[in-house]
Amino acid sequence: MSFAIPKESYNGRVLALDFGKGGKALMIGGETALPFLAFEGEVPNKPVIAYEIQDSAPDDWPDTLKEIYKDVSGGPVTWAKHCQDKLGAKAIALRLMSTHPDRENRSAADAAKTVKDVLSVINVPLIILGSNNIEKDASVLVAAAEAASGHNCIIGKAQEGNYKTIVAAALAHNHKLIAMSELDINLAKQLNILITQMGFDKSRLVTDPMCSALGYGLEYTYSVMERIRLAGLAQNDATMQPPILGDIGIYVWKTKETTAEESDVPGWGSLKERGIAWEAVSATAMLTAGSNLLIMRHPDAVEAVEKTINELC
């Protein structure tokens, strides 16, 4: 008696979203099945990994990560070009950390210049991220969106406290938009509804339900992402059908496992290998939960996750 693989079928679809322009433009989403289960439906596009860069040399990254970029992290233009030309980045995520009031408090005009400078040296798609200060991002991302007009970027993150101005900027300059809520499916749904009520098409949205690292709430993040994906596929909830973002690096590289010296925890093994593994495992978990787009930092972790994606696809 032959064995037939049990199959689930869904009446919903994850919305497909493109970003970038020309031959390097990328497409994410579009699937009608849970992650990597192509035998149950369509999975037309692989998840995409973007390399994170910052607009000033990061002072809060562990030395094992700083060392990788020590020759290029002094300027975002050099850093972006290195990721594209040397590391083969498919996309780049520029985080405008220096605009944060508690950092260098650089102006929106400074941020706009940085965006223009980076776009002038790369041809891969760009994701433009603020510093996650709600008030400051409202002005910074408006200026950044204008500076990147015509490049079909993804900008963010729009949150409940600042989404109106950021949505208006994304509309005016024809960008895609990240909508971020704080680990609650109902908050994610509410924010997506509020944004679409402003006339922003849901097919141009990326949902960011927030992320976490292995050992630091990963299970909760996983369950929230999985519920969002199931709501979009099984319940055909249109507000839950945009692609999902997993902003991995920012959460992984501040955990104890990626920073504790070997002399302090000799049983944990190599600090360098530990950090790579922590980012790669966290990222892979987000992929299986439903993430279509990842933002990562360490090239070796990216390589490991890319290999996993190719094998599963």
CB neighbours of 71 closer than 8 A, spacing ≥ 6? none
Q: Residue 208, by phi and psi: left (phi above 0), alpha (psi -120 to 50) or beta?
A: beta
Q: Which two tokens stand for residue 103?
A: 């950092």
- Please give the C-alpha separations between residue 151 and each of 18, 55, 179, 182, 291, in angstroms, as whole numbers: 11, 19, 19, 29, 23
pLDDT at position 263: 94
Query: How many whole angstroms separate alpha carbon 176 and alpha carbon 40?
Result: 29
DSSP 8-state class, residue 154: E
pLDDT at position 3: 86
DSSP lists the bridge partners of residue 154 as 127, 176
Digits of tens for pLDDT over the chain (313 positions)?
A: 788 888 999 999 999 999 999 999 999 999 999 999 999 999 999 999 999 999 999 999 999 999 999 999 999 999 999 999 999 999 999 999 999 999 999 999 999 999 999 999 999 999 999 999 999 999 999 999 999 999 999 999 999 999 999 999 999 999 999 999 999 999 999 999 999 999 999 999 999 999 999 999 999 999 999 999 999 999 999 999 999 999 999 999 999 999 999 999 999 999 999 999 999 999 999 999 999 999 999 999 999 999 999 999 8
CATH of 41-312, one of 1.10.1660.10, 3.90.320.10, 3.20.20.20, 3.40.50.720: 3.20.20.20
Full-prediction pTM beyond 0.75?
yes
Reported in sequence order, the residue ranges of the chain that DSSP labels E, i.e. its strands, are 17-19, 26-28, 48-54, 92-95, 126-129, 154-158, 176-180, 205-208, 245-247, 293-296
Query: How many whole angstroms separate alpha carbon 109 and alpha carbon 8?
Result: 51
pLDDT at position 177: 98
Query: How many whole angstroms separate alpha carbon 269 and alpha carbon 260?
Result: 11
Query: How many whole angstroms separate alpha carbon 239 and alpha carbon 232?
Result: 7
DSSP lists the bridge partners of residue 26 as 19
